[in-house]
A = this chain, B = another copy of it.
Amino acid sequence: MLQGNAIIGQSGGPTSVINASLCGIIQQCLAQKAIEKTLGMRFGIEGFMRGDVIDLGRQQPAVIEGLRSTPSSALGSCRHKVKDDDFPKILEMLKQHNIRYYFLIGGNDTMDTIHRVEKYCRSQGYDLIGVGVPKTVDNDLWGTDHTPGFGSAARYVALSVRQAGMLARDMRYVDQYVIFQTVGRSAGWLPAAAAMARTAEDDAPHIILMPERAFDRRQFLADVKRCHERYGWCSVVCGEGVCYADGTPISASQTTDKFANVEFGAMGGSSAAMMLHRMINAEFGWRGEFQVCESLQMCAADRTVPGDVEEAYACGRRAVELAVDGQSGVMVSIVRDSNEPYRWSLGTAPLADVALGAKPMPDEYINAQGNGVTPACLEYLRPLVGPMPDYVRLAGNL
């Protein structure tokens, strides 16, 4: 068994449960004889290369336990894409701190980093075990049923759309539409999760725009009109990365203002939801609002799904178990064993495969019109989002 120190890093944007994974890794590292010191890299690989390292074994146990319910990336994070030039420096730091166990919590870029660092070390004759722990609210990671953090972000989206939908329904003689924008880049998992908000036919959301489908302005406005005719109001959920057929993001769409000046959205600090808002307003003259919560979806610790916290923590612990068992070059994965009741277990996926690419929404989860999800998608989402609150509705409130 390899004897030495361990280091842990967090990478990319956080989730509400990324610190639960950190907690699991630290607690399990501290219990291992093979691991002498448990170190943390501040601000990911970027801080590590600068020597910004802290001794996690010196933290109060209550602080470590408290990570389980603390949002954001407690170690600090970065978005540094490791270049070939970085490897000698990284190896130097690994040697300096006698690090033999290397854990990163992140998405596919992060898995790629572990993979390449481990390969480089091997080529240089330095024994290093690298294991990845999955994390992203986008849920687009290959090799796992879902990613820790997705369920809690999905719940934030579903709760928001549900609550704002009830408000829009009850205020429909004042405002006629509400648009909620999710994060998730080019993956449609988060906007899709809004579908969990719906219990009755007229509930929000009415239209879901996922980046997996090209945006068609004419079709969109026809859908909005149809909803408005049917319900008297309309709820739209859109992924931030929705694009036109030619690949132009709708957030950067060319809209002319009242003075016929062309505006370029994203450049000036814009958003997809605002562009949709302007389109509806310009077409129908209705009042309405757009909601852009951005990273609030990634850090709402009071809205986490208990199962998501549990899985995130378990993934962290398992990474250490695999490492001291000598397994390297893998990411811990979550396997869905059964859907009802929901049962899961942990597996592994080779880092080399995970690093290759993102996992988009499968076609069978998106409806034929491209403006909503299928029953199969709801079945996939249900255990991850958790039970929605029971709100009442007065009889006769149609």
Q: Is residue A163 within 8 Å, beta carbon to beta carbon, of the partner chain?
A: yes
CB-defined contacts of A178 to chain B, threshold 8 Å: 295
Of A59-67, A125-133, A346-354, the one contacting chain B is A59-67
Known contacts: A257-B264, A257-B268, A295-B167. The answer to whether A395 contacts B63 by CB under 8 A is yes
Contact B296 A163 (CB under 8 A): yes
Q: Mark A254-293, 1 if CB is under 8 A from B, else 0.
A: 0101110111100111100010011001000000011111
The residue that A293 contacts in the complex, of B71, B278, B296, with Cβ under 8 A, is: B296
Copies of chain A in the complex: 2
The residue that A67 contacts in the complex, of B40, B174, B270, B392, with Cβ under 8 A, is: B392
Q: Is residue A27 within 8 Å, beta carbon to beta carbon, of the partner chain?
A: no
Chain A, range 43-68, C-beta contacts under 8 Å to B: 43, 46, 54, 56, 58-60, 62-63, 66-67
Contact B164 A299 (CB under 8 A): yes
Q: Is residue A75 within 8 Å, beta carbon to beta carbon, of the partner chain?
A: yes
Closest to A292 in B: B292
CB-defined contacts of A397 to chain B, threshold 8 Å: 42, 54, 74-76
Closest to A70 in B: B391
Contact B299 A167 (CB under 8 A): yes
Contact B63 A391 (CB under 8 A): no
Of A97-105, A142-150, A300-308, A312-320, the one contacting chain B is A300-308
Contact A170 B74 (CB under 8 A): yes
Known contacts: A63-B394, A301-B389. The answer to whether A72 contacts B296 by CB under 8 A is no
In Å, the complex CA distance between A46 and B54 comes to 63
Q: Is residue A364 within 8 Å, beta carbon to beta carbon, of the partner chain?
A: no
Contact A163 B299 (CB under 8 A): yes
Closest to A169 in B: B72
Q: Is residue A195 within 8 Å, beta carbon to beta carbon, of the partner chain?
A: no
Interface size on A, residues (CB 8 A): 79
Contact A290 B294 (CB under 8 A): yes
Closest to A398 in B: B42
Contact A392 B292 (CB under 8 A): no
In Å, the complex CA distance between A14 and B169 comes to 12
Contact A258 B262 (CB under 8 A): no
Chain A, range 69-90, C-beta contacts under 8 Å to B: 69-79
CB-defined contacts of A303 to chain B, threshold 8 Å: 302
Q: Determine how close the nearest CB of chain B comes to the CB of A372; give it in whole angstroms.
A: 22
Q: Determine how close the nearest CB of chain B comes to the CB of A230; give it in whole angstroms.
A: 17
Q: Mark A13-34, 1 if CB is under 8 A from B, else 0.
A: 1100000000000000000000
Contact B58 A395 (CB under 8 A): yes
Residues of A within 8 A of B (CB): 13-14, 40, 42-43, 46, 54, 56, 58-60, 62-63, 66-67, 69-79, 159-160, 163-164, 166-174, 178, 255, 257-259, 261-264, 267-270, 274, 277-278, 281, 289-296, 298-303, 389-397
For this complex, 16 residue pairs linking A to B, each with C-beta atoms less than 8 Å apart, are A13-B171, A42-B396, A54-B395, A66-B392, A71-B167, A73-B170, A73-B171, A75-B397, A76-B170, A78-B173, A164-B295, A167-B295, A168-B295, A255-B268, A259-B261, A261-B263
